[in-house]
Amino acid sequence: MTLLQKKRRLIERLADSPTALICNAYSFMGHHAPCSDWSIKCMTPGLPPMVGEAVTIKLDCSTPDGEHKYEFENSADSGNALYYKLVERLGQTEIPKIVVIESIGNASTSAVLGDGMAKLFRSAGATGCVTNGGVRDIHDICKTGLTTFGGGSVANHYSLRWSDLGSPVAVGGLTIETGSIVHGDRDGVIVVPSEGWDTVVRACRYVMDFEKAAHVLLRSTTLTTQEKESQIGCLANEYSGLIRDINGCDGP
């Protein structure tokens, strides 16, 4: 199986999974899924979980100098704006893409994403967008179906200065690289570690079973706290063993 096929398969199978469940599955596998801090908020909580391959870029839209509303800097090819090169990348493969925009400058005073940009991203193949900057036109972004994460709502911006297409970006405590698999829902955004791609889907199923059984015990009014702790510990050991035995062979 090629890397492209593996990514497509993983994205399809994690599309309905809660982000916290994936985090717990990685914990059971002995890994940590890096997550965003609480500065990154889900701006479209009514939309499904977001999962896809990251395409990264940086944007300064908080600097008030410059006469043109839309400026494009550091283009790799003269005459081609990085913004449109970004959009071209979204359609280069059939894998759903997540646009990750690091807002540089004063991220709290400028809107990085609005409904027009969201419509273009969505039509080009993006299923989500993550930024540490502001978001506006939130009601209309929801209509596009682009699951969006940002630092908050901001109504305006200055000139748009794009840079560093494809370079690693820093967003909400996360370092995200182009090509990374990103997942997010109301709880936040994670980078899905490449360690465990072959086993995380089945591990999620085991963790769901574990959590259902553990929650039954937690709700019990007939068990003591010590009995709950003991029985949940036994369950955790049992399911840890099951997950270790997956051995990198994640079935359908």
**In this model, does residue 235 exceed pLDDT 60?**
yes
| Higher-confidence position of 76 and 161 | 161
Share of the chain above pLDDT 90, in %: 81
Share of the chain above pLDDT 70, in %: 92
Residue 152 CB neighbours (<10 A): 15
Distance between CA 162 and CA 119 in Å, rounded?
A: 19
**In this model, does residue 249 exceed pLDDT 90?**
no
Which domains does the chain carry?
3-13+33-192 (3.50.30.40), 200-244 (no CATH)
**Is this model's pTM higher than 0.85 or not?**
yes
Residue 210 CB neighbours (<10 A): 21
Distance between CA 101 and CA 89 in Å, rounded?
A: 14
Give the least confident one: 57-61, 124-128, 157-161: 157-161
Q: What is the pLDDT of residue 77?
A: 44
Are the C-beta atoms of 129 and 113 separated by less than 8 Å? Answer: yes
Q: What is the pLDDT of residue 252?
A: 41
Instruction: Give the pLDDT mean for 6-33.
Output: 96
- How does pLDDT run across 197-206, given as a tens digit for each residue? 999 999 999 9
Which H, E and C letters describe the chain, residue by residue?
Answer: CCHHHHHHHHHHHHCCCCHHHHHHHHHHCCCCCCECCCCCEECCCCCCCEEEEEEEEEEECCCCCCCCCEEECCCCCCCCCHHHHHHHHHCCCCCCEEEEEEECCCHHHCEEECHHHHHHHHHHCEEEEEECCEECCHHHHHHHCCEEEECEECCCCCCEEEECCCCCEEECCEEECCCCEEEEECCEEEEECCCCCCCHHHHHHHHHHHHHHHHHHHHCCCCCHHHHHHHHHHHHHHHHHHHHCCCCCCCC
Instruction: Give the pLDDT mean for 230-240.
Output: 95
Binned at pLDDT 50, 70 and 90, residue 79 comes out as very low
Q: What is the pLDDT of residue 160?
A: 87
Distance between CA 194 and CA 171 in Å, rounded?
A: 19
Binned at pLDDT 50, 70 and 90, residue 247 comes out as low
Q: What is the pLDDT of residue 2?
A: 93
Q: What is the pLDDT of residue 93?
A: 87
Crossing angle of helices 115-124 and 82-90, in 10° steps, is: 40
Instruction: Give the pLDDT mean for 212-234.
Output: 96
For 68, counting Cβ atoms within 10 Å of its Cβ (0-12 exposed, 13-18 middle, 19+ buried), the class is: exposed
Q: In what order do the strands lie in the sheet with 134-135?
A: 111-113, 134-135, 152-153
Please state, rounded to an integer, the average pLDDT across all residues of the chain: 91
Q: What is the pLDDT of residue 66?
A: 57
Are the C-beta atoms of 71 and 161 separated by less than 8 Å? Answer: yes
Are the C-beta atoms of 163 and 76 separated by less than 8 Å? Answer: no
Q: Of 33, 67, 126, 27, whose CA–CA distance to 113 is shortest?
A: 126
**In this model, does residue 9 exceed pLDDT 60?**
yes
**In this model, does residue 69 exceed pLDDT 80?**
no
- How does pLDDT run across 215-225, given as a tens digit for each residue? 999 999 999 99
How many Cα atoms are found within 13 Å in the side-chain-facing hemisphere of 69? 2
Instruction: Give the pLDDT mean for 18-38.
Output: 97
